[in-house]
Amino acid sequence: MTVILVIVDGLRPDAIHRVHSPHFDELMRSGAFSLTARSVNPSVTLPAHMTAFHSVPPEHHGVLDNTDRPLRQLGSGLFEQVHAAGGSAAMVYSWGPLREVARPGSLDFAHFQRLDFADLPGADGPTVEAAAPLVERAAFDFLFIYLGAVDEIGHAHGWMSEEYLRQVEITDAHLGRLAGALGPDDVMMIASDHGGHDRGHGTDAPEDMTIPWLLMGPGVRRGVALGTPVSLLDVAPTLAALLDVPAARRWEGRVVTEALSVGGELYA
C-alpha cells in the first residue's frame, strides 16, 4: 500500500464547481471530502505546508512567510515519523522552499523540477509524469506530490479569472492521471494549502482560508461530505493513522475519523 498526498497550491474549492471537473467529481463520489476545510493564518504556501506536515500552527512552528532558509528547529513531522517507523517516503515537487518540510535523512527519494513559467498552463505536467510511475509501482509507503501552477496563474491573472479556472480544469486532468495510477490498496489525499483573492493571498479572509480536502481509498467512506471541521492540522495525523505510524507528541491536529471506516464500521 502507498499513501499519497497531493497538495494543489492555491486551489479554491468554489472553483471546482465552476469548471468541468469530472475527475474531482468522481473522486468526491469515491471518498470522503470537505469543501470548507481551513488553511492557516498567514495563508501562505510555506507556513501552510509546515502545518500540514508538522500538525502545529504557524505561531508554534515559527514559519511565517515563504523565506527560503534552513528551518531545522522544527519538531518531528510526518516524513520523520514514517522514517522512524521503518517506512519509506518520497516527494515530487516544483518549488524549492518545500525541501524544508522534510529533515535530511528522512526521505528515500526526492524529485525536484522547477516550474516552467514560459509554459504555465502545462507547467505541472512534468511533475505528474515523474510522480505517476512512482504511484503505479507503489514504490514508497508515503509519497507527497506538489502541484504549483494553479497558484502561479492566480498571481498572474487573478483568482477566479478565466485563466485561473482554465488552470483548475487542467489540474483536474492531472488528478485523474494520478488517480488512474493508484493500485487497489492505495490511499490518496488531495488538499490545497490556501485559496486566494484578486492576485494574492495571505489574509484570514474566507477566500484565502477555505480549502478543499479529500480522502479516498480502502478504509475510507465513499461519497461522504464531512460535516465536522477539518483543517491542515489534521493532514499529518490522518495520514499517519493510515500508514500505521505513531503521531508525534507535539502534533495538535486530529485523525479525521469521520472519513474512515474499517470493515464497514466507522474507524475509531
Per-residue pLDDT of 240-263, as tens digits, reads 999 999 999 999 999 999 999 854
80: number of CA atoms within 13 Å, CB side? Answer: 19
With H, G, I as helix, E, B as strand and everything else as coil, classify residue 64: coil
Other C-beta atoms within 10 Å of 140: how many? 21
Q: What is the pTM of this model?
A: 0.96
Per-residue pLDDT of 168-221, as tens digits, reads 999 999 999 999 999 999 999 999 999 999 999 999 999 999 999 999 999 999
Q: Would you say 83 and 248 are in contact if contact means Cβ atoms under 8 Å apart?
A: no
CATH superfamily of 3-266: Alkaline Phosphatase, subunit A (3.40.720.10)
- For the chain, the domains span 3-266
Q: Which grid coordinates are listed for 145?
A: 506530490
DSSP structural state of residue 247? P
Measuring CA to CA, how many Å separate 105 from each of 15, 63, 80, 109, 244? 38, 21, 8, 10, 20
Q: Which grid coordinates are listed for 243?
A: 500508514
